[in-house]
């Protein structure tokens, strides 16, 4: 007995969701799952890219994240894209049982330049700790602190120096991260023959919890 596709009337041996292969492929698409435009926010100071409260260092990595989120749990065999002149050209291959379908879509890419939270905090000279250097030769300790802060900043974005005050026989260095300041102080103590003294001062409250700022004194005999 001959079998006919109920949509186009063609004779067919294999049905997909009660349709022939061509009619089934015409009926399926995931292009409507993709937006007409993608907005990416780029910090005009540090260049980091913000998407879904996550930071990326390149537009390509940000687009990877967006497309992976959009295509998650869909019947996608493979997907690729290219970026050209503020457009993202997406190529997708779908797979259903033993048949495949390729689709393409161009998506507008809007780049919006902002000031990220971290750069805004830096501009406001935010700090949680002060490292005080008191020494007859403070320069070598200061250089050691700068170098160590640079290393720590690779894993802790709040490990930044927001202000430096030069005073006789020393420096006052304002640091955004308490943990970074503590790590730096321990590093300096292990490297040089210095004394460390930590004091803590109440600075206010956050969500009902008391907030403190640390002062770490590094001194030499």
Does residue 1 register a pLDDT over 70? Answer: no
> What's the confidence (pLDDT) of residue 170?
94
Mean pLDDT of 190-211: 82
Least confident piece of the model among 24-38, 39-53, 105-119, 194-208: 194-208
Mean per-residue pLDDT over the chain, rounded: 89
Query: What's the whole-model pTM score?
Result: 0.65
Tens of pLDDT, residue by residue over 108-157, are: 999 999 999 889 988 888 999 999 999 988 999 999 999 999 999 988 88
Q: Can you give the chain as a three-state secondary structure string?
A: CCCECCCCCCECCCCECCECHHHHHHHCCCHHHCCCEEEEEEECCCCCEEECCEEECCHHHHHHHHHHHHHCCCCEEEEEEEECCCEEEEEEEEEECCEEEEEEEEEEEEEEEECCHHHHHHHCCCCCEEEEEECCCHHHHHHHHHHHHHHHHCCCCCCCEEEEEEECCEEEEEECCHHHHHHHHHHHHHHCCCEEEEEEEEEEEECCEEEEEEEEEEECC
Share of the chain above pLDDT 90, in %: 54
Tens of pLDDT, residue by residue over 47-105, are: 999 998 889 999 999 999 999 888 887 778 888 999 998 999 999 988 777 788 888 99
């Amino acid at each position: 007995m001959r079998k006919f596709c109920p949509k186009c009337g063609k004779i067919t041996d294999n049905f997909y969701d009660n349709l022939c292969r061509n009619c089934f492929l015409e009926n399926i698409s995931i292009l409507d799952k993709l937006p007409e435009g993608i907005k990416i926010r780029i910090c005009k100071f540090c260049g980091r890219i913000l998407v879904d409260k996550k930071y990326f260092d390149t537009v390509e990595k940000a687009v990877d994240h967006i497309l992976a989120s959009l295509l998650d749990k869909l019947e996608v065999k493979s997907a690729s894209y290219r970026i050209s002149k503020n457009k993202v050209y997406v190529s997708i291959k779908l797979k259903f049982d033993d048949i495949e379908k390729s689709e393409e879509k161009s998506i507008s890419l809007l780049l919006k330049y902002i000031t990220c939270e971290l750069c805004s905090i830096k501009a406001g000279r935010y700090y949680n700790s002060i490292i005080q250097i008191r020494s007859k030769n403070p320069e070598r300790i200061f250089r050691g602190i700068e170098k160590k802060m640079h290393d720590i900043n690779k894993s802790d974005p709040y490990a930044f120096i927001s202000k430096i005050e030069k005073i006789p026989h020393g420096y006052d260095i304002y640091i955004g991260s308490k943990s970074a300041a503590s790590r730096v102080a321990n590093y300096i103590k292990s490297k040089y023959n210095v004394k460390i003294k930590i004091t803590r001062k109440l600075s206010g409250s956050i969500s009902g919890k008391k907030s403190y700022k640390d002062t770490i004194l590094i001194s030499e005999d």
